[in-house]
Structure 1
Amino acid sequence: MLKQFSIILSIYFLGELFHKALELPVPGNILGMLILFFGLLTGVIKLEMIDRISDFLLDNLAFFFLPAGVSLITCFALLEGKWTAILWVSIISTVIILGVTGLTVEFVKKTLQRKLIDTAFLGKETGKGEINKKEIQVHERIQAHERAQAHERAQVRERNTEKVS
């Protein structure tokens, strides 16, 4: 687990190094997350290399929010009179995040579903998401016929079981 933690920590420090060296307006920890993402995406970093430490960090995520919470408590004087603004910003940002997340999930599901249909039903990837509707209808009829046959077999088994009982 120490090796996994050192991988995560070195990626974080690499992001901080890029931030300082290139004077980018993006924080170093965000650059580190991007490095980790692209490392996982390209296969340079295998998921098995960081899975246990990632699970540990995610399981204890609430612990890492304690310093921010304590800082808010010590700054009550600064926040006085601004609670409605903070509340509205929190509500609006939550709604935006929910909407964008939902739209992204729908887009990814449709894209993956179209790709699966192309590869599974047509036996090839068209690359453009074009689907031959006639072939899909034939496939759906075949599936319906197979379901009907399975249902008939189940009914026969039930009747045979009742006869034996």
Structure 2
Amino acid sequence: MPLIKQIFVVFFICLLGNFLSECIPLPIPNSIMAMVLMLGLLALRWLRADSIRQVVDFLQKNMVFFFIPSGVSLLEHYELLRDNLAAILVICVVSMLATYGAAAGVVWLVLRIMKKGGETQ
């Protein structure tokens, strides 16, 4: 598929995700809705991964550009961040530890299930 068509497909799915997130009364972000749509289209095989590979690879390689607006917003609110630095650091440390703990628990559970499955065979 030509590059222009690939870009059109990806951005159309993003636009559709935006529209659906506005129509659905749940607080689902536009980007999450678009990713769910993309997953659904790929899972149903209505869209082939090879047909959008070029544009997806390009966007993935240049992902850093998508974080520039967030970084600029952080700099615009420097005083607010400085005033609440201790609370932000505590939240970051606690959420990091919770994420590590959850990941370790899932790995432990999967290994236990795999080990148990290996014994029965």
Fold agreement, TM-score > 0.5:
yes
CA separation of 1:58 and 1:92: change in aligned 2, threshold 3 A: farther
2:50 to 36, 48, 51: 48
Give the letter aligned to residue 86 of structure 1. Answer: I
Q: Which residue of 2 aligns with 1:131?
A: 120
> Which deviations, in whole Å up to 9, do the C-alpha atoms of 1:70-102 show, x marking residues without a partner?
111111122222111112222222333334345
Residues 29-108 of structure 1 mapped to structure 2, 5 A cutoff = 29-104=31-106, 107=110
- Pairwise CA RMSD: 2.5
Alignment TM-score, normalising by the size of structure 1: 0.60
* Structure 2, unpaired ranges of 5+: none
C-alpha separation between the residues in 2 aligned to 1:105 and 1:49?
34
C-alpha separation between the residues in 1 aligned to 2:107 and 2:4?
34
Residues 4-43 of structure 1 mapped to structure 2, 5 A cutoff = 4-43=6-45
Q: Which runs of 4+ in 1 moved over 6 A?
A: none
CA separation of 1:95 and 1:57: change in aligned 2, threshold 3 A: farther
Alignment TM-score, normalising by the size of structure 2: 0.78
C-alpha separation between the residues in 1 aligned to 2:9 and 2:100?
32
* Structure 1, unpaired ranges of 5+: 118-129, 133-165
- Matched residues, number: 116
Percentage identity across paired residues of the two chains: 29
Larger-Rg structure: 1
Give the structure, 1 or 2, with the largest relative contact order (CA under 8 Å, sep 6 or more). Answer: 2
